[in-house]
Structure 1
Amino acid sequence: MIDVRPSQQMRDLGVVQQGAAILAEPARPFNLPTERDEAERVVDDLFAAMERIGQVHPFAKGMGLAAPQIGIARAAAVVQPPGNAPAIILLNPKITARSDETDEQYEGCLSFFDVRGLLPRPLKITVETAALSGETSTITYELGLARLIHHEIDHLNGLLYTSRMLPGVEPIPVDEYRQTGRAWAYEEA
């Protein structure tokens, strides 16, 4: 049996890999509701890709996928929280507020799945996102969900999580990472 590296497995499932120009460029926002059909198509493509990926790899911490990761340079992402919570669709999302309080956790990325990186993120973010109708709403996310959503919004801004790692901190190989299959841990408030 041939052992396939996690990044190769993701590439085979249609996930654009680190080094591709589309991952380093800001995604183009949708003009909603004018581009409603295009936005729906992109979201459908994201859900289809997440379904394929989810059949191959479990995600105890939840999972997110941004349109540039499947080769579409548009400002759409889908986040599937852990458990049975409904998926969160992000169209033209913008972080409008973030808490000063942060914590450091390891993250992985489908676009370079062979490593995990320790990085700080705010414990709470407020996000403005658009509906297909063009109306905007603002929602505050906390803890692990804030981390997942921030990660995907970074993708839409052309950033990978490694750009947020502290100086001197390097990603570690996935086989050295010991928290696979477990949710992020947070102190009880």
Structure 2
Amino acid sequence: MALLKIARMGHPVLLERAAEVDDPTAPYIQTLIDDMIETMHDADGAGLAAPQVHVPLRVFVYHVPAARSSGAEDPPRPVAALINPLITPLGDAVATNTEGCLSIPGLRGAVPRPARVRYEGLDRRGQPVSGEATGFLAVVLQHENDHLDGILYPMRMPDLGRLGFDAEYEKHGLGIAK
């Protein structure tokens, strides 16, 4: 496995729609997933999309650490990959959470997103997966899926006055989500 270089805001790969993965079980996809997981852990992230490591394909990895779980409806989740995902909002409820991004180091901001979503796609074995998500999992799935469509979280912020440095958010107890 290898640590991959993370693209930072301003790199064109982060602004493009990623291509579908034709064969999720291909060896290069399996290696990519393993390397993305190692990179995500090394960077202390909760998710990482392939475009963030300069690979414009529709795949991301994610997990929900126990510290970020909000209970029974949003339990901790082990590391997983989602390939060719489809994320669909369920209902009209919106939740605003503080998000950070490995491609925008040192900053975070308040981002409104649908509070409940349905997700579908393929796992790393090419098997269909689906479910519903709320809480931190819903945020991570939507955030990483946005990367596959060339969207960074500041593009979702209606008020850029709520964009700030990590240290200030932590100092003033304004919330944490990466």
Q: TM-score range by the shorter chain?
A: 0.7 to 0.9
The amino acid of 1:26's aligned partner reads: R
Higher mean C-alpha deviation, range 169-178 or range 21-30: 169-178
Aligned to 2:72: none
> Structure 1 residues 168, 64: CA separation in 2 closer, same or farther (over 3 Å shift)?
closer
Please give the alpha-carbon distance, in whole angstroms, between the structure 2 residues aligned to 1:130 and 1:141.
16
TM-superposed CA distance for 1:106, in Å, is 0.8
Partner of residue 52 from structure 1, selected from 27, 36, 42: 42
Where in structure 2 are there 5+ consecutive unaligned residues?
A: 67-75
Provide Cα deviations, 1:6-58, integer angstroms capped at 9, x if missing partner.
xxxxxx9721100000000011111135x62232121111012123223xxxx
Do 2:118 and 2:131's aligned partners in 1 also have CA atoms closer than 8 Å?
yes
- For 1:145-177, what per-residue CA distance to the aligned partner results, in whole angstroms no more than 9, with x for missing partners? 100111000011110011111145441122211
User: For 1:41, which of 25, 28, 31 is the aligned residue?
Assistant: 31
Q: Which residue number corresponds to residue 88 of structure 1?
A: 80
Alpha-carbon contact 2:81-2:124 (below 8 Å) kept: no
Maintained 8 Å contact 1:66/1:155 = yes
Question: What are the equivalent positions in structure 2 for 1:1-189 lying under 5 Å apart?
Answer: 14-32=5-23, 36-54=26-44, 63-83=46-66, 85-167=77-159, 169-178=161-170
- Aligned-residue Cα RMSD (Å) equals 2.5
CA distance in 2 between counterparts of 1:157 and 1:95 reads 12
Specify the code of the residue in structure 2 equivalent to 1:142.
T
Q: Tell me if the contact between 2:116 and 2:132 (Cα under 8 Å) persists in the aligned partners.
A: yes
Larger CA Rg, structure 1 vs 2 = 1
What CA distance in whole angstroms lies between the structure 2 residues aligned with 1:72 and 1:168? 29
2:73: which partner in 1? Answer: none
- Give structure 1 stretches of 5+ with no counterpart: 1-11, 185-189
Alignment partner, residue 69 of structure 2: none
Sequence identity (%): 30
Secondary structure in 2 matching 1:92:
strand
Deviation at 1:72, TM superposition (A): 1.1
TM-score with structure 2 setting the length = 0.81
Number of equivalences: 165
Instruction: Say which SS state the counterpart of residue 78 (structure 2) adopts.
Output: coil
Partners of 2:127 and 2:55 in 1: CA distance: 23
